[in-house]
Amino acid sequence: MNAKFSASLWLMLILGASCGGDESASEIDTRIESTISPTSVPISAPIPQSLLVVVSQIREIWHPPIDTTWQWQLIGQPIDASFDVDMYDIDLFDNESSVVADLQIQGRKVVCYLNAGGWENWRRDAGLFPLEVIGKNLDDWEGERWLDIRRLDVLGPILEARFDDCRDKGFDGIEPDNVDGFLNNTGFPLTYDNQLKFNIWLAGQAHQRGLSIGLKNDMDQIPDLIAHFDWVLNEECFQFDECETLLPFIAAGKPVFNVEYALETSEFCEQARELQFMSLKKNLDVDAIREAC
């Protein structure tokens, strides 16, 4: 985008917000032209961060319909872009903006996977987490530990930086993982209210950046969280016979993205279609292989 045009747009936003209703559009244009000149705004002029915040706040948030088809690939490079689906959910750290842009050119929305409630020892920002907020191991996941989500004073800036990366790489939405620590043996005395506060904070951070956000599992808190989240991603509700807890999302016109690992498609797809769930069978490591209902 041309820098002069960009600066004009930002000033129009600011001036339009600050001026009263009596000033005409032509008068605003005159004030903008008198403010901006080829010498006052060089071609390489950076956009002030405060104005980027304004723009992110007015970005239209993507609200996927309940029949959104999708692919979920968290490991394996490059991303297999051959699936004819509406949405791709891929890892934040492993994919650059060019991957996101290529998928969007093909007509896909792209969701940014990140770990919000857990620490992963291989991430490039792992050293930013102080030891006092790193808890017990996540079951069966080597190198991952629970986080003390009560400590937003510590975790907030780190997670905000990750959300910024999602936005800056051009993603359309966010999938924050491990947001049900209060139900697990984390090493911290997390309560229902602690989790609720943290998850609502996550949703607010995504929406402030113009990003859609999905609730990952955390089925016990759906009645309190459905108003804050745009969709839900569930693992194995058919396996554990708990899919009815997800129905409020369908009733609200918000999609349920469901994945089963152990069951065969013949064991859950018919029911998934009846419930209007967008269900897949995936490998546990969430590689490119998928079977869709």
Q: Beta strands 212-216 and 173-177: pairing type? A: parallel
Q: Do 184 and 281 fall into the same domain?
A: yes
Alpha-carbon gap, residue 159 to 204, rounded angstroms? 12
Q: Do 136 and 20 fall into the same domain?
A: no
Q: Which domain holds residue 133?
A: 62-292
Q: Do 227 and 264 fall into the same domain?
A: yes
SS3 173: strand
Q: Do 88 and 47 fall into the same domain?
A: no
Q: What angle separates helix 152-168 from helix 192-208, to the nearest 10 degrees?
A: 30
Q: Do 191 and 167 fall into the same domain?
A: yes
Q: Do 10 and 143 fall into the same domain?
A: no
Q: Do 82 and 23 fall into the same domain?
A: no
* Domain containing residue 167: CATH number: 3.20.20.70
pTM: 0.81
Q: Do 266 and 213 fall into the same domain?
A: yes
Q: Do 92 and 151 fall into the same domain?
A: yes
Number of domains in the chain: 2
pLDDT tens sequence for the chain (293 residues): 433 333 333 333 433 443 344 444 344 333 333 333 333 333 334 444 444 444 444 679 999 999 999 999 999 999 999 999 999 999 999 999 999 999 999 999 999 999 999 999 999 999 999 999 999 999 878 899 999 999 999 999 999 999 999 999 999 999 999 999 999 999 999 999 999 999 999 999 999 999 999 999 999 999 999 999 999 999 999 999 999 999 999 999 999 999 999 999 999 999 999 999 999 999 999 999 999 99
Q: Do 45 and 66 fall into the same domain?
A: no
Q: Do 23 and 147 fall into the same domain?
A: no
Q: Which of 16, 36, 55 is the last residue of a domain?
A: 55
Place of tokens 């004819």: 84
Q: Do 39 and 145 fall into the same domain?
A: no
Alpha-carbon gap, residue 49 to 150, rounded angstroms? 28
